[in-house]
Amino acid sequence: MPDAALRELKFRDRGRGEGLSAALARTVAEIGRAPVSVMHVCGSHEQAIARFGLRSGFPRDLHVIMGPGCPVCITDQPEVDEAVALARQGIRIATYGDMLRVPGTSASLADAQAEGARVDVVYGIDQAIATARTSPDPLVFFATGFETTAVTTAAAALAGLPPNLFILSAHKYIPPVMEIVCEMPGSRIEGFIAAGHAATITGWGIFEAFVARHGVPVVIAGFEPLDILAALVRLTELIRDGRRTVENMFPRCVTREGNLVAQRQLWQVFAPAGGRWRGIAHVPNGNLRLRDAWAHLDARRQFAIDLARLWDEAPSALSAQCVCGEIMSGLKTPSDCPLFGAECVPDTPVGACMVSTEGTCRIWREYGEQTCLSQR
Amino acid sequence: MPVAALNRHVAMKHGAGGRSMRRLIEEVFMRGAGSDAAAMDDGAAIRLSGGWLIVSTDSHVIHPLVFPGGDIGRLAVAGTVNDLAMMGATEPLGLTCGVILEEGFPIDELVRLQASMVAACEEAGTTIVAGDTKVMRRAEVDGIIINTAGIGMTHRVIRDSGLVPGDVLIVSGTLGDHGMAVMAARHKLEFRDELRSDVAPLNGLIRLALAAGGPWIHAMKDPTRGGLASVLHEMADRSKVGIVVDEPSVPVRPQVRAAAELLGIDPLFIANEGKAVIAVAPTAADAVLAAVRSHPYGRDAVIVARCVAEAPGTVVVDTGFGRRFLSEPDGELLPRIC
- Per CB-CB distance under 8 Å, the chain B contacts of A229 are 321
Radius of gyration of chain B (CA): 19
Residue A126 has pLDDT above 60, yes or no: yes
> What CATH number should be reported for the domain holding residue B320?
3.90.650.10
3-state secondary structure of B210: helix
3-state secondary structure of A60: coil
B318–A97: do the CB atoms touch at under 8 Å?
A: no
- CATH 3.40.50.11740 location in chain A: 77-171+260-311
B321–A54: do the CB atoms touch at under 8 Å?
A: yes
Q: What CA–CA distance (Å, rounded) separates B69 from B61?
A: 16
Interface of A with B in 259-288 (CB under 8 A): none
Q: What CA–CA distance (Å, rounded) separates B255 from B19?
A: 28
- Per CB-CB distance under 8 Å, the chain B contacts of A364 are none
Domain that holds residue B103: 45-154
Give residues with Cβ within 8 angstroms of B110, minimum separation 6. B101, B144
- Given the cut 0.95, state whether the ipTM is greater than it: no
State pLDDT tens for residues A259-282.
Answer: 999 999 999 999 999 998 887 888
Please state, in angstroms and as integers, the Cα–Cα distance from residue A311 to each residue in A78, A371, B22, following that order: 10, 46, 38
| For B247, nearest residue in chain A (alpha carbons) | A52
3-state secondary structure of A270: strand
pLDDT value for B86: 96
A376–B242: do the CB atoms touch at under 8 Å?
A: no
A357–B264: do the CB atoms touch at under 8 Å?
A: yes
**Do both B173 and B142 map to the same domain?**
no
Residue A312 has pLDDT above 70, yes or no: no
Interface membership of A75 toward B (CB under 8 Å): no
Stretch A323-328: mean pLDDT, rounded?
84
Question: Which of B31, B37, B40, B33 has its CA nearest to residue B6?
Answer: B31
In a domain, B273, yes or no: yes
**Do both B150 and B177 map to the same domain?**
no
**Secondary structure element (H or E) that encloses residue B154, with its range:** strand B144-154
pLDDT value for B35: 64
**Do both B12 and B51 map to the same domain?**
no
A121–B334: do the CB atoms touch at under 8 Å?
A: yes
Q: How many CB atoms lie within 10 A of CB A274?
A: 12
- Residue B318 pairs in a beta bridge with B246, B323
Contact A221, A227 (CB under 8 A): yes
- Ramachandran bin of A145, using left for φ above 0, alpha for ψ from -120 to 50, beta for the remaining angles: left
Interface membership of A357 toward B (CB under 8 Å): yes
State the maximum Cα–Cα separation within chain A, in Å, rounded to a whole number: 65
**Segments of chain B with pLDDT less than 50:** 1-6, 335-338
Percent residues over pLDDT 90 in chain A: 59
Backbone angles phi, psi at B154, to 5 degrees: -150, 155
In a domain, B336, yes or no: no
As a whole number, the mean pLDDT across chain A is: 89
- The angle subtended at Cα B202 by Cα B36 and Cα B187, nearest 5°, is 100
pLDDT value for A50: 87
A5–B254: do the CB atoms touch at under 8 Å?
A: yes
**Do both B174 and B313 map to the same domain?**
yes
> Which is more confidently placed, B213 or A313?
B213
In a domain, B201, yes or no: yes
pLDDT value for A244: 96
* Among A65-69, A213-217, A355-359, B27-31, the least confident range: A355-359
Backbone angles phi, psi at A272, to 5 degrees: -70, 145
In a domain, B163, yes or no: no
**Do both B181 and B238 map to the same domain?**
yes
Pairing of strands B315-318, B242-246: parallel
**Do both B1 and B102 map to the same domain?**
no
**Do both B57 and B103 map to the same domain?**
yes
In a domain, B40, yes or no: no
3-state secondary structure of B90: coil
Residue A13 has pLDDT above 90, yes or no: no
Nearest to B323 among A4, A56, A121 (CB): A56
**Do both B137 and B275 map to the same domain?**
no
**Do both B197 and B304 map to the same domain?**
yes
Nearest to B323 among A5, A14, A370 (CB): A370
Q: What CA–CA distance (Å, rounded) separates A198 from A173?
A: 9
**Do both B101 and B173 map to the same domain?**
no
Q: What is the pTM of this model?
A: 0.80
Contact B158, B220 (CB under 8 A): yes
> What CATH number should be reported for the domain holding residue B106?
3.30.1330.10
In a domain, B150, yes or no: yes
Interface membership of A7 toward B (CB under 8 Å): no
| Number of domains chain B is built from | 3
Percent residues over pLDDT 70 in chain A: 93
Residue A107 has pLDDT above 90, yes or no: no
Per CATH, domain A77-171+260-311 is 3.40.50.300:
no
3-state secondary structure of B309: coil
pLDDT value for B279: 98
In a domain, B174, yes or no: yes
Task: Judge if the upstream peptide bond of residue A35 is cis by omega within 30 degrees of 0.
Answer: yes
pLDDT value for A375: 39
Question: How far is the alpha carbon of A58 from chain B, nearest alpha carbon, in Å?
Answer: 9
**Secondary structure element (H or E) that encloses residue B289, with its range:** helix B282-293
Question: How far is the alpha carbon of A213 from chain B, nearest alpha carbon, in Å?
Answer: 30
**Do both B13 and B55 map to the same domain?**
no
Give residues with Cβ within 8 angstroms of B20, minimum separation 6. A347, B11, B13, B14, B330, B331
Task: Judge if the upstream peptide bond of residue B64 is cis by omega within 30 degrees of 0.
Answer: yes
Question: Which of B179, B328, B334, B321 has its CA nearest to residue B257?
Answer: B179
- Per CB-CB distance under 8 Å, the chain B contacts of A98 are 334, 336-337
Last residue of a domain, one of B119, B154, B189: B154
Contact A238, A247 (CB under 8 A): yes
Please name the fold of domain A3-70+175-248: Rossmann fold (3.40.50)
Residue A123 has pLDDT above 50, yes or no: yes
Q: What CA–CA distance (Å, rounded) separates A362 from A143?
A: 22
* Among A59-73, A195-209, B297-311, the least confident range: A59-73
- Residue A270 pairs in a beta bridge with A290
Nearest to A53 among B310, B321, B337 (CB): B321
